[in-house]
Structure 1
Amino acid sequence: MVMLSILDQYSQVIKFSELPDPRTSWELQRLIGEGTYGEIHQAIHKESGEVVAMKVLESIHEMIEEIEEEYQVLRDQGNHPNIPRFHGIYLKPPTNGIDAEVWIAME
């Protein structure tokens, strides 16, 4: 997809075009909260039934650096007892004129 390859140009850290679509594995449940960069939902893994907090981020191109920093911290420190366990990063492709979304799954 053209949009995804454009996102790859913005990041030295994340290869957006290679991220899986979160809708194949995760189902969003209730809204838990809202933050500066997006919403946090309870989500359930479709196969295992595991429940996580899923951060849903829109307007990706406007906050690439913040996404990269959070991804690197969770990826590199996700096994530390004081950091939420990292379950993955996903990209929901753009649909019907709506921007792509980055989904970050964490404990």
Structure 2
Amino acid sequence: MNNGEVPRIHHRENIMLNNIGPAGLILIAVVVLVLFGRGKIAGLMGEVGKGITAFKDGVKSPDAEIEDASTTADATAARDVTPEERTTPITERDNA
């Protein structure tokens, strides 16, 4: 220690996480499968795949997506949203 080296401190968490082997990973996978079920895990993986695909598409062409969104916003901004006038009289039943 006197030769200028910094002593290495091993934390218990690091030692425990490094000792997970194939058997531990299989045990964790079985527990997750039992808790969540096959259908929910398959749906989650499908959503992860869609997210990755959307991310890759966004990285490839970010400008095209922004332009598409702006043209859609312009088209909907000019839409008339004035409520229609009522032609039937308001009754107590309508107020309930």
Q: Same fold (TM over 0.5)?
A: no
Instruction: Give 1 or 2 for the bigger CA radius of gyration.
Output: 2
Structure showing the higher helix proportion among its residues: 2
TM value normalised by structure 2: 0.21
Structure showing the higher strand proportion among its residues: 1
TM value normalised by structure 1: 0.19
